[in-house]
Amino acid sequence: MRKKELKLVITFHTTADAMAMEKACKENQTPGRIIPVPRAISAGCGLSWCADLSDREEISEMMKRAGIEEEEMHECMV
Amino acid sequence: MIYMDNAATTMHKPQAVIDAVIAAMGSMGNAGRGANEASLSASRVIYNTRDKLCRLFGAESPKQIAFTNNSTESLNIAIKGLLKPGDHVITTMLEHNSVLRPLYEMEKKGVKLTIIKSDEKGTFDLKDMDEAVIPETKMIVCTNGSNLTGNYIDISKVGELALRKGLLFVVDASQTAGVFPIDVQKMHVDVLCFTGHKGLLGPQGVGGIYVREGLSVRPLKSGGSGVQTYSRTHPAEMPTALEAGTLNGHGIAGLGAAVDYIQEAGQDKIREKEQSLMRRFYEGVRDIPGVKIYGDFRTWERCAIVTLNIGDYDSSEVSDELLTEYGISTRPGGHCAPLMHEALGTVEQGAVRFSFSHYNTEEEVDKAILAIRELASD
């Protein structure tokens, strides 16, 4: 297994929201990718957006512009 | 075969729709059930179709569009998920059983129901609807186009009435989605119920429901959602709230391609072609002795449907003759619209419905006219 790093992980209420996030990020060339929600955050399944901590501000601003609502924003080891 | 039963389902689908379904069947995992590429591919295709439908219907956000099997499921969700005992609901004689039967079920549970009368042309007076509103009235549910006569109902006027009276407005767009412009926000539609396999030109088994932002509908089903696994209740957020269980991803891929096709070909062009074929047929048969046509033809702003009878002949016999002698597919009988047939006086005889697609040709229409002329002279 590769070594874990501290990352920004954004969770969503629905899969549709996660897909909206991926689409908006691609369109805006915002960094990150879809990963399964880490169990450290929730055991409840689903998709989340994973990116470097340093991209947090850029991502937040893009989400505001695109009207994408997160469930929570976490910093965790993934 | 000359296929003229497009109000039941559009049999001729764009090649791009067929290709999209086949591609999906070779590549799709289960949407929202993991982050593997196959699953993500399904999630992306489904989200893109949601997005396309959101734009097509002028919804606030793709989240407000949930996928269902068909209009019937969407209407059941809307009617059973928004009404409660003691509420009053208004509908019309134009409706299909997919509206009427859920309403009759709710009536047994204590919902009061008013059905606005239709005249002999198959239209109703908005004034009657206005006057039917009482303090307990919660909802108006009404079709955008009659599946029997093809009469088009201007839902923006009904939407204005619902808005003015503070009522929920549920629209059955089975005959119009994909063909007529629909803007749910401008038309004050709270819930839009549509199917993918008629005017939207997609596969059977996929439809949808638009729910206005902020409006909460009790779901019919609960179950797998791909999120919140350890919660004992199904997620309340749209669209997941109304999408328990694995979606018809292959069908939704086809529907997405169908919306693209409609946008590229031009919705107005498609509708005008259908309407011109309808008009050609209507003008070709209306003066044939013994032919009786139903519906309101004072305007051409109507669904591409011409429904008729020949003398006292049973509509099933006429439809069978059309098929066996001329190779023309039509739909006889009651068309799941019992009250509309009552209003037209055709409960016993039924009626023969011709419904056109933009894929039909003038030559096909002329053959159908000739067939009716010959059958009527027998």
Given a cut of 80, whether residue B294 has pLDDT beyond it is yes
CA max distance for chain B: 70
In a domain, A1, yes or no: no
In a domain, B4, yes or no: no
Q: How large is the ipTM? A: 0.82
Of B219, B238, B265, which residue is a domain's last?
Answer: B265
**B282 and B172 inside one domain:** no
Rg (CA), chain A: 12
**B47 and B188 inside one domain:** yes
In a domain, B5, yes or no: no
**B40 and B135 inside one domain:** yes
Above pLDDT 70, what percent of chain B? Answer: 100
**B182 and B202 inside one domain:** yes
Our count of domains for chain A comes to 1
Contact A44 B228 (CB under 8 A): yes
- The whole-angstrom separation of Cα B225 and Cα B191 is 22
- The whole-angstrom separation of Cα B107 and Cα B91 is 13
The token pair that represents B38 in the structure block: 């196959």
Exposure string of B337-347, with b = 16+ CB inside 10 Å and e = fewer, is: bbbbbebbebe
In a domain, B47, yes or no: yes
**B85 and B194 inside one domain:** yes
Range of the domain at B319: 266-377
- Determine the average pLDDT of the residues in A15-22: 94
In a domain, B8, yes or no: no
pLDDT tier, B32 (very low <50, low <70, confident <90, very high otherwise): confident
pLDDT score recorded for residue B296? 98
- The whole-angstrom separation of Cα B34 and Cα B367 is 54
Distance of CA A17 to the CA centre of its chain: 11
pLDDT in tens, B317-338: 999 999 999 999 999 999 999 9
Polymer length in residues for chain A: 78
CA distances from B29 to B230, B258, B350 (A): 23, 21, 45
Which of B329, B310, B307 lies closest to B320 in space, CA to CA?
B329
pLDDT in tens, B342-362: 999 999 999 999 999 999 999
In a domain, B290, yes or no: yes
pLDDT tier, A2 (very low <50, low <70, confident <90, very high otherwise): confident
**B112 and B253 inside one domain:** yes
**B326 and B235 inside one domain:** no
Domain CATH number, residue B308:
3.90.1150.10
A43: which chain B residues are within 8 Å (Cβ-Cβ)?
229-230
**B140 and B201 inside one domain:** yes
Matching residue, tokens 């139903």: B294
Contact A20 B230 (CB under 8 A): no
Given a cut of 80, whether residue B181 has pLDDT beyond it is yes
pLDDT in tens, B237-272: 999 999 999 999 999 999 999 999 999 999 999 999
In a domain, B248, yes or no: yes
Given a cut of 90, whether residue B141 has pLDDT beyond it is yes
pLDDT score recorded for residue B108? 98
pLDDT tier, A40 (very low <50, low <70, confident <90, very high otherwise): confident
Which of B2, B6, B4, B7 lies closest to B337 in space, CA to CA?
B7
> Any CB–CB contact under 8 A between B290 and chain A?
no
pLDDT score recorded for residue B47? 97
Asked whether the beta carbons of B56 and B65 are under 8 A apart, the reply is: no
Q: Provide CB contacts within 8 A for A75, sequence distance 6+.
A: A6, A7, A8, A9, A53
In a domain, A17, yes or no: yes
In a domain, B3, yes or no: no
**B171 and B272 inside one domain:** no
Our count of domains for chain B comes to 2
Of B233, B265, B297, which residue is a domain's last?
Answer: B265
Asked whether the beta carbons of B230 and B272 are under 8 A apart, the reply is: no
Provide the shortest C-alpha distance from residue B224 to chain A (in Å): 11
A17: which chain B residues are within 8 Å (Cβ-Cβ)?
63, 237
Asked whether the beta carbons of B62 and B50 are under 8 A apart, the reply is: yes
Q: Provide CB contacts within 8 A for B18, sequence distance 6+.
A: B254
pLDDT tier, B285 (very low <50, low <70, confident <90, very high otherwise): very high
- Determine the average pLDDT of the residues in A10-18: 93
Which of A28, A29, A46, A24 lies closest to A37 in space, CA to CA?
A46
B43: which chain A residues are within 8 Å (Cβ-Cβ)?
15, 18-19, 47
Domain CATH number, residue A14:
3.30.70
**B186 and B60 inside one domain:** yes
The token pair that represents B50 in the structure block: 């949601």
Strands B112-116 and B88-92: parallel
- The whole-angstrom separation of Cα B182 and Cα B208 is 14
Average pLDDT, chain B: 96
Of B265, B280, B302, which residue is a domain's last?
Answer: B265
- The whole-angstrom separation of Cα B91 and Cα B153 is 13
Given a cut of 90, whether residue B31 has pLDDT beyond it is no
Give the single-character DSSP code of B42.
H
**B23 and B130 inside one domain:** yes
**B286 and B245 inside one domain:** no
Given a cut of 80, whether residue A45 has pLDDT beyond it is no
pLDDT score recorded for residue B102? 98
